[in-house]
């Protein structure tokens, strides 16, 4: 029997790394929804589509976008953009792109279609609240902003200092949690895990310990 494992949480909470490990252990598929929003952001930036663009222009752009995942790399219209979606400029703009109602509607449709027939672990900010509100398993990962900034810094994906990253994370949290459409928040029935002082392995174990034995291979 198939199931959905929803991993939500703010930037830098370890969602992607932990989700990849869970997918490997559980032998199920993994869908990084955050990468989808980042890929769309890159496409918008490359095509000069700005925050104040009309609904018509955004809708037309979305019609021109085809997203694929091949061997854990994300492709837009046949181009591998995995190495280009975590730059500072994409990070700076992804919040307004992901807050756009047309973008979220289109990507949520894609996510539901992709994960319709197999067991999946999905990570994002609204998986357990919007995309799959009936997911069998829901977890909300969090950590303090300073610890998350340190993690981002040592991922070598940004030219910012730890203090600059921390401020950017605080601003992103505020934006994501207060936006009108699909805000970042913990689902009422999700298990919250503060992994500020946990290793990746400890967080993975906590999640596995809260799953039914029949689903843990």
* 102 in any annotated domain: yes
In a domain, 214, yes or no: no
Residue 103 has pLDDT above 80, yes or no: yes
Please check whether residue 217 lies inside any domain of the structure: no
Residue 158 pLDDT class (50, 70, 90 cuts): confident
Taking the C-alpha atoms of residue 81 and residue 194, their distance in angstroms, rounded to an integer, is: 31
How confident is residue 71, by pLDDT bands cut at 50, 70 and 90? confident
CA distance 151 to 157: 10
- Measured CA to CA, the distance from residue 78 to residue 4 in angstroms comes to 28
Flag whether 118 is in a domain.
Answer: yes
C-alpha to C-alpha distance for 42 and 177, rounded to whole angstroms? 22
Average pLDDT over residues 166-186: 92
Number of structural domains found in the chain = 1
Q: What is the CATH number of the domain that holds 131?
A: 3.40.50.300
Q: Which residue range(s) make up the domain with 157?
A: 4-209
Q: Can you give the pTM of this predicted structure?
A: 0.83
Query: What are the DSSP calls for 80-125, one per residue?
Result: E-GGGSSSHHHHHHHHHHHH-HHHHHHHHHHHHHHTSSS-EEEEES
| Residue 195 neighbours by CB distance under 10 Å | 20
Across 72-83, average pLDDT: 92
Domain assignment present for 215: no
Of the pLDDT bands very low, low, confident and very high (cuts 50, 70, 90), residue 135 is very high
Question: Across all residues in the chain, what is the average pLDDT?
Answer: 94
Residue 136 has pLDDT above 80, yes or no: yes
CB 116 within 8 A of CB 60: no
Q: Say if 9 falls within a structural domain.
A: yes
Q: How many CB atoms lie within 10 A of CB 49?
A: 19
**Is residue 82 domain-resident?**
yes
Task: State the average pLDDT over residues 36-62.
Answer: 97
- Does 54 fall in a domain? yes
């Amino acid at each position: 029997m198939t199931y959905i494992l929803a991993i939500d949480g703010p930037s830098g909470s370890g969602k992607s790394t932990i989700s990849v490990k869970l997918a490997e252990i559980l032998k199920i598929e993994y869908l990084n929804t955050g990468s989808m929003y980042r890929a769309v952001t890159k496409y918008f930036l490359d095509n000069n589509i700005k925050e104040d663009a009309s609904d018509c222009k955004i809708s037309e752009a979305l019609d021109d976008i085809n997203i694929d995942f091949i061997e854990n790399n994300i492709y837009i219209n046949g181009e591998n953009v995995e190495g280009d979606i975590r730059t500072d400029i994409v990070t700076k703009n992804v919040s307004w792109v992901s807050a756009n109602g047309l973008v979220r509607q289109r990507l949520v449709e894609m996510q539901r279609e992709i994960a319709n027939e197999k067991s999946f672990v999905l990570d994002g900010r609204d998986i357990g609240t919007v995309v799959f509100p009936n997911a069998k398993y829901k977890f909300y990962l969090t950590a303090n902003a300073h610890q998350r900034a340190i993690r981002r810094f040592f991922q070598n994906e940004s030219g910012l200092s730890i203090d600059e990253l921390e401020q950017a994370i605080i601003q992103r949290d505020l934006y994501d949690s207060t936006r009108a459409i699909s805000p970042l928040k913990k689902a009422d029935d999700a298990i919250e895990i503060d992994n500020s002082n946990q290793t990746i392995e400890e967080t993975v174990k906590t999640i596995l310990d809260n799953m039914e034995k029949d689903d843990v291979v």
